[in-house]
Amino acid sequence: MSEGADAKPVEALNEAEAAAELARLSEEISRHDMLYHQKDAPQVSDAEYDRARRRNAAIESRFPALIRADSPSARLGAAPASGFAKIRHSVPMLSLGNAFNADDVHRFYARIRRMLELDEGSPLEMVGEPKIDGLSITARYESQRFVQGATRGDGQVGEDVTSNIKTVKDIPKVLPTHAPQVLEVRGEIYMSKPDFAALNRRRFEEGEAPFANPRNASAGSVRQLVPLVTAERRLQFFAYSCGKVEGGNIGTTHWAFLDRLRDWGFMTNPLAQLCRSPDEVLALYDRIAGERGTLPYDIDGVVYKVNRFDYQERLGFVSRAPRWAIAHKFPAEQAETVLNDIIIQVGRTGTLTPVAHLTPVTVGGVVVSRATLHNEDEIKRKDVRIGDTVIIQRAGDVIPQVVEAVKAKRPKGAKPFRFPAK
């Protein structure tokens, strides 16, 4: 997200500046939604995106009269791209609010206790489970048979990817006879890190552009028009929630529901844990954060969910997220280094990707000497110049990104980068 008026704290904005900021943020957020949801090619980290959304929300709460008709707070993701039939979700597929530190988590607990009018002594159980950095989908079963698979899309309308989902081995095609008559299981499709590396190696050998990270690779694989290609991609699936359920029982708690999912043949995440206090939840966060690097798949945080379904129902939803769940995000791993050169990589199809050549630096335990600058617009927008000191980041991504140039450290005479005309 570009900085600009961003530098100014929300409290210091006057009304005209606030209106201009809301217009700018609406435009930027929808651009990034489109890049993320339709092109599977995000240009900013989740942290930057979340910062923009929070800034937008903060300005809206200070200037409610300025809330725009196209406010990003009221929309979720981008409408689906063409190529697949559209499916309206029977129950919307929502997003999650974020927590970035222990204070946010304590506030989340306090709000829930207040809304449920629980006194101090009464227990409030949460299930904590990794937030899988993949593609969320819904799988519908009728009479215990898989009948339809859809992507989240904008949360209301997704894409019909039934034929592709059928090729995912973790998604059972038939459920035991005691499973509900109608059941929509939701969860995350992901690609393991080794499968991702092997896929990119193959693509490299075949002269195709590599995927930036496993998330993009899984999204790209599910949204393939040829199911055979999806089948070759070895996608995996963790189940973690449901949509419509009829003629059957999913239990009275999330923890019991996870048990049933396993009984019906789904994979659930083995790190999920039932927690009885904010301290237990935060200890789980630390443990999962510690294991993050050794897990064979990408995660970008830990999700906490109120265990009891009757509590979940009473808490309900606000615009785009349930009040009974929150995603406690991991901080993006960043480091500062020097940009020594920008080399243009040419893909087989002629796509040009500028690659930053850096003085090697360790970010989150990995030595990084190259980072992507995505494309020409991105270099212009960030005004990154050869010789600059830059902030680089690894955030759930395997390919590190250049976040920004540290303008204060810019060497005299550094010139704007000129993208080759040929």
User: Which residue in 30, 95, 156, 353 binds ligand IVH (CB under 6 A)?
Assistant: 95
Of 29-37, 129-137, 157-165, 174-182, the window that binds ligand IVH (rule: CB under 6 A) is: 129-137
Which of 131, 305, 329, 382 is labelled catalytic? Answer: 131
Binding residues for ligand IVH restricted to 187-206, rule: CB under 6 A: 188
**Contact flag: residue 131 with ligand IVH (CB under 6 A):** yes
Question: Contacts from 208-213 at CB under 8 Å and sequence distance 24+?
Answer: 208/347, 208/348, 208/349, 209/347, 209/348, 209/349, 209/351, 209/353, 210/399, 212/41, 212/372, 212/397, 212/398, 212/399, 213/133, 213/298, 213/396, 213/397, 213/398, 213/399
Residue 73 binds to ligand IVH (criterion: CB under 6 A): no
Helices (H), 166-234: 193-205, 214-222, 227-232
Beta-strand runs (E) in 307-386 = 317-318, 321-322, 325-329, 333-346, 352-363, 366-372
Quick check: 258 and 201 in contact, CB under 8 A? Answer: no
Residues 229-288 that bind ligand IVH (CB under 6 A): 240-241
Among positions 80, 322, 396, 400, the unique one binding ligand IVH when judged by CB under 6 A: 322
At its nearest, how many Å lie between ligand IVH and the CB of residue 283? 18
Q: Which residues of 22-35 are buried (b: 16+ CB within 10 A; e: fewer)?
A: bebbbebbeebbeb
Residue 241 CB, nearest distance to ligand IVH (Å)? 5
Q: What are phi and psi of 177, to 5 degrees?
A: -60, -20
Give exposure, 178-189, as e/b (b: 16+ Cβ within 10 Å). Answer: ebbebbbbbbbb
Residue number, 284 or 327, with CB nearest to ligand IVH: 327
Number of residues engaging ligand IVH in binding (CB under 6 A): 14
Integer-rounded Cα Rg, in Å, for the chain is 22
Nearest residue to the partner ligand IVH, using Cβ: 136
Stretch that binds ligand IVH, among 4-12, 202-210, 319-327, 343-351 (CB under 6 A): 319-327
Q: How far is the CB of 326 from ligand IVH (least distance, A)?
A: 10
CB contact at 8 A, 115 and 258:
no
Q: Using the minimum distance from each CB to ligand IVH, give the nearer residue, 136 or 200.
A: 136
Contact 359, 9 (CB under 8 A): no
Q: Minimal CA–CA distance to 160: which of 168, 151, 169? A: 151
CB nearer to ligand IVH: give 241 or 401.
241
Tokens of 64: 């409610």
Nearest distance from C-beta of residue 155 to ligand IVH, angstroms: 8
Select the span of 33-41, 89-97, 165-173, 191-199 touching ligand IVH (CB under 6 A): 89-97
What whole-number distance in Å separates Cα of residue 304 and Cα of residue 124? 12
Strands of the sheet with 182-190, listed across from one edge: 145-151, 135-142, 182-190, 236-246
The residue (of 299 and 384) whose beta carbon lies closer to ligand IVH is: 299
* Residue with smaller CB distance to ligand IVH, 98 or 401: 98
**Contact call for residue 94 and ligand IVH (CB under 6 A):** yes
d(CA 43, CA 37): 12
148 binds ligand IVH (CB under 6 A): no
Least separation in angstroms between residue 397's CB and ligand IVH is 16
Among the listed residues 26, 136, 200, 230, the single contact to ligand IVH using CB under 6 A: 136
CB closer to ligand IVH out of 329 and 385: 329
Among 87, 245, 284, 303, binds ligand IVH (CB under 6 A): 303
The verdict on whether 131 is a catalytic residue reads yes
Which C-beta is closer to ligand IVH: that of 29 or that of 303?
A: 303
Residue written as token pair 């240009």? 43
Q: CA 372 to CA 218: how far, in whole Å?
A: 20
**Least distance CB 120 / ligand IVH (angstroms):** 28
For ligand IVH, the closer CB: 260 or 382 = 260
Rounded (10°) CA dihedral 372, 376, 382, 386: 70
Residues engaged in binding ligand IVH (CB under 6 A): 94-96, 129, 131-132, 136, 188, 240-241, 303, 322, 325, 327
Residues with active-site annotation:
131
